[in-house]
Chain A
Amino acid sequence: MKRIFLVVVALFLSASAASAGTTQKWTAGWDNFSEALNYTKSKISWSVNATTHKLSVTFTLNGATPSKLYQVGIVPFCTTFPATFGQFPVDGGGGTCTTITRQGVTASAVTIELGVVTTDIHGNGSFTVVIGPIAPGTYDVEFQARNGAGCELTGGAGNQTSDCEDDFQSPGPFGTTTTITIP
């Protein structure tokens, strides 16, 4: 009986260790600064599973525009970048990172589109994605939420300014990054 109990406790502990995460807030995006959002309740939670080399990210929006699609992704700042990030393609196919200027800051970066947050009648919604396995390394990134869905993906609004613009970023402002280490 004691042995079974210890096994159960060990399983609980290993599960909680794998899912321990970091939570950070959204800030206004680098393109649109007037999109509605409850910045106090909205957040991004992420964690790395060192064993599987997978990154789990949950994007949560609260008090955004009701019944709206927000495409979410990750923006690594880099000089060069592979063609893929886990199972997701890098916009443009990777290689030399693209130089862009936003909020008075110039930096080179790539973008990976991960999914869509769909808001309900209250403007609330969330989306969770598991990415990986990811090549070991240190990634300096921002998370982003676009003004619609379909940027660099099939089946949405397409590559138009209206849906590709950045409504929310984290941590922000542009160029202020979060470091994610994949062992």
Chain B
Amino acid sequence: MKRMFLVVVTLLLAASAVSASTTQKWTAGWDIFTEPLNYKKSKISWSVNPSTSKLTVTFTLAGATPSKLYQVGINFICTTFPATFGQFPVVGGGGTCQPATRQGVTETIAGVDLGVVTTDMNGNGSFTVVVGPITAGTYVLEFIANNGAGCNLTGGGGTTYETCAVDFQSPGPIFGDTTTIIVP
């Protein structure tokens, strides 16, 4: 009985080690600053599984515009970047990162679109994605939520300012404030 209990506890500890995650808040985006959001309840949670080299990210929005699509993704601060990040294509096909100036800050970036948060009638919604396997390395990045869905993807509003404008960033509050994710 004692041995079985220890096995169960070991399994629980192993599971919690894999799923230990970092949670961070959204701030207003670098394009649109008036989109509604409950910044206290909204968040991003992410974790890296070192065994599989996979990154799990959950994007949560609360108190946003009801029944709206927010495309979510990652902007990497970089000089060069591969054509893919895990199983997702990099916007523009990778290579030399592109300069962008927002909020008075200029950085060179590469973007990856990961999915869509769809809000309910209360403006709440979430989306979880597992990315990987990812090439080992240190990634300096910001998470973003666009003002619509279809930026660089088929089947939505297309690559227009209205769709692609960034409503929310994390960590922010200024373009270029970054999170570092290490994939061993």
Contact = CB atoms under 8 A, between A and B. Distances in A.
Contacts, number: 127
Contact of B114 (A5, A88, A118): A118
B87 A156 contact: no
Interface in B136-165: 147-150, 152-158, 163
Interface string A1-15: 110110011000000
B154 A68 contact: yes
A66 B2 CA distance: 50
Interface stretch (A39-47, A123-131, A136-144): A123-131
Contact of B157 (A9, A70, A87, A155): A155
B128 A155 contact: no
Interface string A104-135: 00000000011110101110110110000000
A155 B68 contact: yes
B88 interface: yes
Interface residues of A, number: 41
A68 to B, nearest CB: 4
Interface of B: 1-2, 4-5, 8-9, 12, 65-70, 84, 86-89, 113-116, 118, 120-122, 124-125, 127-128, 147-150, 152-158, 163
Interface of A: 1-2, 4-5, 8-9, 65-70, 84, 86-89, 113-116, 118, 120-122, 124-125, 127-128, 147-150, 152-158, 163
